[in-house]
Chain A
Amino acid sequence: MSSLVDIPIGPQHPAIKEPINITCYVDGEQVIGAKLRLGYNHRGIEKAGEYQTFIQNLYIAERICGICGIVHAFSLAQATEDIIGKEIPRRADYLRTIGLELNRIHSHLLWLGVAAHEIGFDTLFMYVWRDREMVMDVIEEFTGNRVTYALVTIGGVRRDLPQEKAEKILKVMDVLEEKVKKYKEMCLDERTIRVRCDGVGILRKEDAIALCAVGPTARASGVPFDVRADDPHAAYDEIPFKVVTYDTCDVTARLLVRIDETLESINIIRESIRKMPSGPIRARLPRIVPAGEGVGRTEAPRGEVFHYVRASGSEKPFRWKVRAPSLANFLSVPVMLTSKGDYVVYIADVPIVFASIDPCMSCTDRAVKFVDVSSGKSWVWTFGQIKRIYWRDRS
């Protein structure tokens, strides 16, 4: 124990795409423990949101994250529509679903490439990103831009999906399904990948539940949390899909969960295009939002994303709070990186383990301290309390 050295990984490091600091305590090549430090990417978005109108905030919400932008815009729109209390047209729900699932596919393919790069397998990285270009082209056709979709607006969506574009999407989905199935085979058969990912980064089921892991991180440990199934929104109540879980709790399981989810998303998109009703794509909702509170949540590629909006009867929100999924998943990282008994973690495992929770620092860095302005009290909610208050309908 006296030979413990701590190796800092980040905030500037080739393995980490966004600034974060993980300090690993190592003994030779073995990692004994890890400590996380966040906050390098704090941009003051929630405060800036209080000075902009709801319409402007939609575009700011989209820029919380480059990879999963539409999820934040959708959650904000859902929270605002919750306050106003009006229904949006059914066709808009289906179009939003297609946007969300296209985002999920591109995000999972991006992650697959990055994970391959972390274990030194650059060839797979290049191949997967080449195929991801097909998805980006489809997204550009559908929404007008590759990264910041600007598709969702309060009351519906801004663009319709004409028949030729729907045909194009279906054709690309067919080609993509072949390629993703081939990548799944490659990941299952390739010895060098299996040897780096099997039994690495174990997060047991009890730990996953106790540490509030969400998304594929939890589902790879056998915990079947999926907001699309538990709290159906958009068009998910009418489209059947499978909640993918695996039991092995390691990095390979997270890899397989994401690949299987990509295949499920392809099916969801096909079903949505098939079942889409005709009708208007947006409802004219008032600019001035009446006083009240609203909650919007959906399943981002990384887990459950949660927006809370409090309006006070003006054009601008009174308070806007975002809880991104990566924040919930970060607590699991020190547990995954601690060597205990038979389970040994090496330095070489740290990047792939950290990458397996699909960290998105842009989504994450917002404060967790709560201040009640009217009474001047400030407090910090523990995750247990938050769970009890917000997840009570699940029990």
Chain B
Amino acid sequence: MTQELTAILGILLFPGLLFFSILGLFFEWIDRKFYAKLQNRVGPLYTGPWGLLQPFADFVKLMSKEDIVPEGADRPVFSSVPVFALTLTFFATLFLPVCGPQGIISFEGDVVVLSVVLTILVILVFLGGFSSASRYSEVGAERSVLQLLGYEIPLVASVLGAAAITVSTGGSLSINGIVEAQRDWWAILGVQALGFAIFLLAAQAELERVPFDIPEAETEIVAGWTTEYSGRKLALLRLARDVELAFLCGLGATLFLGGPQPGPLVPGLGGVIISTMLFVIKSVAVLLLLTIIRAAMSRLRIDQMINFAWKWLVPLSLLQLLLAVVVPLVTA
């Protein structure tokens, strides 16, 4: 009985839904503050100390606004997309190891499941835009699928390539195995550096941030696929986006930076608190890198993005996959 209770509390509170919601809002705050700092400005300042409560205030404000469904929209699909998006991102975060080497859900092959989840999220974007019955949403939805064609292979290749590090410990396709294999030496310090770079760019495209925010280009198609969403649905969508940001940063930290482990200088594992802190610090490091990319580039056009993805990202990611598998075998 107590085991089920701890499991449920674990999923709902820590390190599950509540923890990742708060982490998502916190990451949005860091993103906005650092982005502003890079532009010589201040960012949110007055809501809460240093503006910490600003993302939460935005969420609460959106929840209280009027929720309008366009007349021609496909009501069931339109209304369920935000709920599904949020559920799916929460489900993905349950795999991340926060307070130990294992996430709440952990089994052999969960890395593959995560890649599938990331792809389904984009399908949801397409459904959301397409069911909105608005010209701007249609263009945004069509662009998001086009963009998926470009970055999906590099993303999956870099995530699966990260699993190649487990070759030395017996080979495994689970996140638990990847974290265990990084006990002494973080993956990024070896052949996975290229994988990390590709993962950063692909994550930026998955999150639809500049230079890849083509589906949601504000100055071109109003708000892309989220144009017709308002009120509670928009609040859930934005929360889903924040949790996805936290998830992808956490995934980057887990696959390439060793997750909640302190190594390589201090091998072994600390307690729950130290592991959580390490996990958060490493995720924040990945987030800062993503923000720097966002600040320093302008938005690409969809044909240029696909060009870039297929000319550079895909060959490099396949090369990296090859290296990741061959080099450990050769050096072992």
Quick check: do A and B touch in the complex, using CB within 8 A? yes
9 additional A-B pairs beyond A122-B39, A123-B296, A348-B302, beta carbons within 8 Å, are A14-B218, A117-B219, A119-B299, A120-B211, A120-B213, A123-B39, A192-B211, A348-B220, A350-B220
A120 engages B139 (CB within 8 Å): no
Bound state CA distance, A117 and B199, in angstroms?
Answer: 27
Residue on B with the closest CB to A119? B298
Contact with B along A121-135 (1 / 0, CB 8 A): 111101100100000
CB distance from A135 to the nearest CB of B (A): 17
B303: contacting residue among A120, A190, A346, CB under 8 A? A346
Residue on B with the closest CB to A13? B222
Determine the chain A residues whose CB is within 8 A of the CB of B210 once the complex forms. Answer: 120, 122
Whether B5 sits at the interface, judged by CB under 8 Å, is no
Query: A126-B40, A127-B39 are known contacts. Are A195 and B219 too (CB-CB below 8 A)?
Result: no
Interface residues of B in 123-162 (CB under 8 A from A): 135-136, 139, 142-143
Determine the chain B residues whose CB is within 8 A of the CB of A126 once the complex forms. Answer: 39-41
Contact with B along A70-103 (1 / 0, CB 8 A): 0000000000000000000000000000000000
A121: contacting residue among B299, B301, B304, CB under 8 A? B299
Determine the chain B residues whose CB is within 8 A of the CB of A348 once the complex forms. Answer: 214, 217, 220, 299, 301-302
CB distance from A187 to the nearest CB of B (A): 11
Determine the chain A residues whose CB is within 8 A of the CB of B139 once the complex forms. Answer: 7, 29, 347
Determine the chain B residues whose CB is within 8 A of the CB of A121 once the complex forms. Answer: 297-299
CB distance from B156 to the nearest CB of A (A): 26
Whether A299 sits at the interface, judged by CB under 8 Å, is no
Please name 30 pairs of A and B residues whose Cβ atoms are closer than 8 Å in the assembled complex, sorted by A: A5-B135, A7-B136, A14-B218, A29-B143, A29-B302, A117-B219, A119-B299, A120-B211, A120-B213, A120-B217, A120-B298, A121-B298, A122-B210, A122-B295, A123-B295, A124-B298, A130-B40, A190-B298, A192-B299, A192-B300, A195-B300, A346-B301, A346-B303, A347-B220, A348-B214, A348-B220, A348-B302, A349-B301, A351-B219, A351-B220
Number of B interface residues in the complex (CB < 8 A)? 29
Number of A interface residues in the complex (CB < 8 A)? 31
Do most interface residues of chain B lie in helix, strand or loop, or is the interface mixed? helix
Determine the chain B residues whose CB is within 8 A of the CB of A8 once the complex forms. Answer: 135
Residue on A with the closest CB to B40? A130
Residue on B with the closest CB to A190? B298
Whether B221 sits at the interface, judged by CB under 8 Å, is yes
Whether A261 sits at the interface, judged by CB under 8 Å, is no
CB distance from B317 to the nearest CB of A (A): 21
Residue on A with the closest CB to B223? A14
B221 engages A347 (CB within 8 Å): yes
Interface residues of A in 320-348 (CB under 8 A from B): 346-348
A123 engages B299 (CB within 8 Å): no
Bound state CA distance, A236 and B198, in angstroms?
Answer: 56
Whether A32 sits at the interface, judged by CB under 8 Å, is no
Bound state CA distance, A196 and B222, in angstroms?
Answer: 19
Determine the chain A residues whose CB is within 8 A of the CB of B217 once the complex forms. Answer: 120, 348
Do most interface residues of chain A lie in helix, strand or loop, or is the interface mixed? helix
Determine the chain B residues whose CB is within 8 A of the CB of A347 once the complex forms. Answer: 139, 220-221
The 4 closest A-B pairs by CB, nearest first: A120-B299, A121-B298, A126-B39, A15-B219
Whether B38 sits at the interface, judged by CB under 8 Å, is yes
Contact with A along B52-91 (1 / 0, CB 8 A): 0000000000000000000000000000000000000000
Residue on A with the closest CB to B41? A126
Determine the chain A residues whose CB is within 8 A of the CB of B38 once the complex forms. Answer: 123
CB distance from B139 to the nearest CB of A (A): 7
Determine the chain B residues whose CB is within 8 A of the CB of A350 once the complex forms. Answer: 220
Most chain B CB within a 10 A radius of its CB, from A126, A195, A348: A348
B219 engages A14 (CB within 8 Å): yes
Residue on B with the closest CB to A351? B219
Whether A116 sits at the interface, judged by CB under 8 Å, is yes
B135 engages A7 (CB within 8 Å): yes
Whether A166 sits at the interface, judged by CB under 8 Å, is no
B302 engages A346 (CB within 8 Å): yes
Determine the chain A residues whose CB is within 8 A of the CB of B219 once the complex forms. Answer: 14-15, 117-120, 351
